[in-house]
Structure 1
Amino acid sequence: MKVVNTKGGNFVKGLAADGLFGAEAGEGIRPELEKLKSLKNIEPALLQRARDREEEERDLRVLDAYNRFESGLQEILANPESGLMELRAGDAQSAVFEVNDYFTEEGGRLRDGLPDDECRTRFMDILESRRKTAVDAVARHQSQEYQNWKEVTAAATIDSVLKAVNLSPDAASLKHGERLLEGAILRLYRGSNPEFLQLRLLTVKQAMYAGALEAIGVKDPVTALILCKSWKAQLGEGHYDRLYEMLEPQARNQHMKQEFYALRDMAEEQLEAELEDLSDAEMRRELREMIMADRQLRERAQLNGEKERINLACRILFKRFVEGVLSTSDILDSGLDAEMRSMWLLIFSRKDEMGTDEALITIVQEMVEDAVSEEYQIYAAIPDGLGGADASMLATLFLLKDNPESRLMINGLRDISERCEIICGDLRDQAAAIRDFLHRVAVLVSKGEPFSITKVRNEVITDHFGKAEAKKEMSETEGQGLDTPVEREPVNHITDEDEVDEHEVAEEAEAGQLPKKSDEE
């Protein structure tokens, strides 16, 4: 096998019929072969083998040089980090020149290292064929990257224009955007179909105006709707219909808000006159409802604010009263009206007086009946005999009115009062139980830990009325035994219809106070 020179490039083919000394013989024959040929009695087979050996050596040297050349070429083309086929956009635009430079420089260096002209000729024929394929591949890559570069740059320019217009959608920005878009599209795509270029330019201009309107509509839908009508030609039918449908309800809402804030503080007669001037009956109706609801809300907020102001002032005065530092000057400077100041002067005059059980029970009953709706009403009971400590605990309980369990606390006070009336009816016992309940709740609330209101109520009832209730039940049972015979029943029968308390049952069983049947029965 040998590398031969053909019109189509360099290929490995079989030997020609006349061998080395045929058409290709000449200056490429080594002197050793010339000398061998001149010898007599040389066998033809040996001479032919010598010729083949010479051709094979040439081919090996040529192919070895080519392999080294190809290895370097692959490194230049396909290196993952710096290969020409990995370059993108503008970086790839000199790739063909770099390939040609490599063929010239490295190919020339390897060619000069070959031993004779025949090897050099064969090597350069192979390189010329390889140059065509390499340059063709790199040129295609370079061309594709050029198109990509152009598309990406044009898209980025369009995006930059749209962002700039959206950020500042004024006339100057729009004019600048139009000129820049024309330059980006018409200049980057020279030689393209003019109709296609105009269509593309029109499309991006429409997108620019649509983006500007959307940006304006975020802050000022009314102005955006007006511009939408005047920019109908620049927007095109598609963008115009979409934006008008989007902006029209937003502009109406903005108009209603503007009218609402202009009308909300007007007197009734002037308000009605302004509303009648509106041509949109639906807007007129909705505005009237909005203004009415707003006035009711503001009146309620003003009333609640006044109540909170009074409560806060009374809370401050009561704190100073409990600390023993309340003065008439504090009352005068409190900001309360004359009636409230008179009430606090009465409270001030009751300094160091003991509270009464009747006053505590009365205010608790009012709280149970929801007659107390404001904190200051608790302090108003002090002149009627409510003690300072009692008022403090009730005020703490009242401040928990927004707590989900506040109703359970009020019900606990009611249950304690009702149980006292059933068992003994003693006001002192009732007041003591109420104070105990309020104190326990206040302590548990101050700890910030979850607790059961029902459990606290049951414990208070058991501690204060458990024994008295057991005695009453025993007395009633003995009275029934004197009149009529009674069949034996379980000893854990409890007659209280309202509650069955495990603590009460346990205490009565331990004390041996549960009702028993006498031997006489």
Structure 2
Amino acid sequence: MPKISAGGMGKFSAKQGRSDILGPDGRSSRVSPEVELLLSRKDIAPELIRRAHDRQDEERDLRVLEAYNSFETGLQEILNSPKTGVMQQQADAAQNATNEVNDYFSEEGGKLLDKLPDDEARSRLTALLNSRRKTAINLVAQHQSQEYQNWKDKTARDTIDSVLKSVNLSPDFATLAHGEHLLEGAVLRLYRGSDPEVLNHRLSSAKQAMFAGAIESIGSKDPISALIVASSWQDRFSEEAYAQLVEKLKPLAWNQNLKQEYASLRGLSDEEVAANIEDIVDPAMQQELVEMLRADKFQQEATAKKAKDARLSILNRNLFQQYSDGSLTPEVITDSGLPVQFRQLWRRVIEREDTSGEDGPFIAVVDGITSHTITAEYQIYSLMAVGLGAGDAAMLATLFGVRDNPQAKLIMNCLKDLAEANQQAGGEVEDYATAIRDLLNRILYLLQKGEVFSITAIRNEVSDDYFGKDQQLSRESDSPATDCVKSEKPQTDEDEGLKSRTDADETDECGINDDVFEKSEGSKPDLNGDEADKIKTEA
């Protein structure tokens, strides 16, 4: 609030006789009885009489201004209070603002007038309040008018939003008709008296948004139908809005058409597919359909093969379990559900006299597992017909099940290293097979004991035992302390023999645990071409 200067020597103005909002200055005809008594005396100097008169008038002004200041404090609270001030009210809550201010002027102003000493003071305060009322009401009225406009705009926006949401959920004719009428009422009735061109533009924009939302809602499920509807409603859109809508729907409709063509073609023969694709005029769609059908055919074949391999592995595993238990009979084999060539193989298995197993099939399976030429578990059991032992088959089936486990990577690498060491040592089959069995049995033994160990150290020990120091594999000589168990023999420069994998492949996996050899029931492998032909021929 601006400060009011008191003027020099306690006067509001140095110039007497000045007229302002408080009334004529220094010319009041109303004086107190004391001043009247003073004026009746002849021995008083005129200057003192004038000063007494002014003093009386100043006191009246002081009381008026004091009352006004008290009133203004309350008015500011009414106007600007953070929580209850009328200037903080919004939308419909602000529409009673001018009435609240007028009520304050009438009630609080009347109370202050009653407290003043005389009519002259009341007249002066009334003049002050009337002037202040004009400025306050003008300010509040502007705020009230702006909030009324904001209220209308928000209500119109909310109405349009509610129409769009209802149309998006249910873009049927009845909902669209209701929405169109509601938009007309919201725009034309709320903004009556506005420029007709502005109103028509607002209404047109709202309707375009509604119909576009309906088409997009249809397009989310059926883009082709949405394009058809958009074409029939083209007159409801501006050229630019229609072009944007069509541009958005065309790729979706193209994809839908592509998927429909694909669904109709994937069950046909190759000749029928070729004939139907030739009838399609869009080269891009032709090309994509060819690629989709080719990928689908490959996927179907892979899925069928995977299912077949899984079934064969389960059936062969069941027979192997019964063979291991000693309960496998020709009748069980006949009722197993296996194809005839596999039933023949299992009959040959139970006819074998030497059940301990031969080294050749054992090594072939190990090499097939490490090279990934054996792709199905049942391939391992099938080789029992040509000499693979039951104990070896059980161990190798377990190894196959964990082959792709990250923790088993070092085991695979060690088996490859032993193969290289055997080749350099002369390729003795018996020593090689025994070395592999020894390596796997040592690992299984340590796992069962729950000890932490180094696979690299075990590999080196096995290589020493079966192929000699001259053929020993390369150790991690740069960092011998990385082994998790103490080596029985010191590593020297003479220990470096065959070049194995890279240093990264030879890194010890000190934390290997029983999880590595948990049997994977999901392993679904398959004979490679040569082995399958061999088994079929022998069968």
What TM-score, normalized to structure 2? 0.77
Q: Which residue identity does 1:43 align to in structure 2?
A: A
- What corresponds to 1:487 in structure 2? none
Which residue is equivalent to 1:173?
Answer: 175
Alignment of 1:385-400 (within 5 A): 385-400=387-402
Aligned to 2:384: 382
- Residue 185 (structure 1) shift: 0.6
Q: Is the 8 A contact 1:9 1:129 kept in 2?
A: no
Q: Distance in 2 between matches of 1:47 and 1:343?
A: 144
* 1:485 corresponds to: none
Distance 2:452 2:219 in 1: 51
Cα separation, partners in 2 of 1:48 and 1:198, compared to 1, 3 Å: same
User: Which residue among 216, 239, 242 is the counterpart of 1:240?
Assistant: 242
- 8 Å Cα contact 2:403/2:412 also seen in 1: no
Counterpart of 2:487 in structure 1 is: none
Structure 1 residue 61: Cα displacement: 1.0
Alignment of 1:71-470 (within 5 A): 71-280=73-282, 282-322=284-324, 331=333, 334-347=336-349, 353-367=355-369, 371-403=373-405, 409-410=411-412, 412-420=414-422, 422-423=424-425, 427-439=429-441, 457-466=459-468
Look up the equivalent residue of 1:163 and give its one-letter code. K
Larger Rg over CA atoms: 1
Supply the distance in 1 between the matched residues of 2:203 and 2:182 (Cα, whole angstroms): 11
Note the C-alpha offset of 1:173: 1.6
Q: Tell me how far apart the structure 1 counterparts of residues 259 and 385 of structure 2 sit (CA, whole Å).
A: 51
Who is 2:508 aligned against?
none
Pairwise mapping of residues 502-521 of structure 1 onto structure 2 (< 5 A)? Answer: none
Aligned amino acid, residue 128 of structure 1: N
Displacement after TM superposition at 1:29 (Å):
2.0
* Structure 2 CA distance for aligned equivalents of residues 131 and 433 of structure 1: 109
Higher alpha-carbon deviation: 38-47 or 223-232: 38-47
Take 1:351 and 1:83, find their aligned partners in 2: how far apart are those partners?
A: 106
The alignment's C-alpha RMSD in Å is 3.7
Distance change (3 Å), C-alpha of 1:410 and 1:157: same
- Which deviations, in whole Å up to 9, do the C-alpha atoms of 1:318-339 show, x marking residues without a partner? 3454466666676555432232
Describe the superposition over 1:262-312 as per-residue Cα deviations: whole angstroms up to 9, x where unpaired. 221124454455445545455345434432332232122212221122123
* Alpha-carbon distance, 1:409 to partner: 4.6
Query: What's the secondary structure of 2:117's corresponding residue?
Result: coil
In structure 2, relative to structure 1, the CA distance for the partners of 1:406 and 1:121 (3 Å cut) is same
**316-325 or 130-139, larger mean C-alpha shift:** 316-325
Give the match for residue 68 of structure 2.
Answer: 66
Secondary structure at the counterpart of residue 265 of structure 1: coil
SS at match of 2:388: coil
Change in 2 beyond 3 A, CA 1:429/1:42: same
CA-to-aligned-CA distance 1:362-407 (integer Å, 9 cap, x gap): 4334546655332111112223332333212211222234346877
Q: Structure 2: which amino acid aligns with 1:211?
A: G
2:521 maps to which residue?
none
For the residues of structure 1 that align with 2:175 and 2:38, how far apart are their CA atoms? 90
Note the C-alpha offset of 1:202. 0.9
In structure 1, how many angstroms separate the alpha carbons of the residues matched to 2:204 and 2:452? Answer: 69
CA contact (8 A) 1:311 1:376 kept: yes
Instruction: Provide, for residues 133-170 of structure 1, a one-character-per-residue CA deviation record: whole Å limited to 9, x for no partner.
Output: 10011011111111111112111211221122122222
Specify which of 13, 16, 21 is matched with residue 10 of structure 1: 21
User: Which range is displaced more, 49-58 or 429-438?
Assistant: 429-438
> Is the 8 Å Cα contact of residues 64 and 116 (structure 2) preserved in structure 1?
yes
Q: For residue 536 of structure 2, what is the aligned residue in structure 1?
A: none
Contact 1:368 1:414 in 2 (8 A): yes
Unaligned runs of 5+ in 1: 471-490, 503-521
C-alpha displacement of 1:112: 0.6
Q: Is the 8 A contact 1:424 1:468 kept in 2?
A: no
How many angstroms apart in 1 are the aligned matches of 2:425 and 2:331? 48
Aligned to 1:44: 46
Letter of the structure 1 residue corresponding to residue 389 of structure 2:
G
Q: Indicate conservation of the 8 Å contact 1:2/1:59, yes or no.
A: no
Greater shift, 344-353 or 158-167, is seen at 344-353
SS at match of 1:380: helix
Deviation, 1:60, is: 1.2
Match of 1:484 in 2: none
The one-letter code of the counterpart of 2:91 is: A
Distance change in 2, residues 1:118/1:499 (3 Å): closer
**How far does residue 436 in structure 1 lie from its aligned partner after superposition?**
2.6
For 2:239, the aligned partner's letter is E
Contact conserved, 1:356 with 1:385, CA < 8 A, in 2?
Answer: yes
Look up the SS of the partner of 2:238 in the other structure: helix
CA-CA distance at 1:449 after TM superposition: 12
Taking the aligned partners of 2:356 and 2:162, their CA distance within structure 1 comes to: 81
Q: 2:57 aligns with which of 30, 55, 58?
A: 55
Q: Distance in 2 between matches of 1:93 and 1:351?
A: 106
**CA separation in 1, counterparts of 2:451 and 2:50?**
111
Structure 2, unaligned runs of 5 or more: 1-10, 473-491, 504-539
Separation of aligned partners in 1, 2:353 and 2:61: 125
Aligned to 2:220, the other structure's residue is in SS state helix
Moved more, 235-244 or 369-378: 369-378
Distance 2:287 2:493 in 1: 70
Larger RCO: 1 or 2 (CA < 8 Å, sep 6+): 2
For residues 160-191 of structure 1, give each alpha carbon's deviation from its aligned partner in whole angstroms, at most 9, with x where no partner exists: 21122122222112111111111111001111
- Cα separation, partners in 2 of 1:492 and 1:278, compared to 1, 3 Å: closer
Whole-angstrom CA distance in 1 between matches of 2:176 and 2:354: 81
Residue correspondences, number:
472
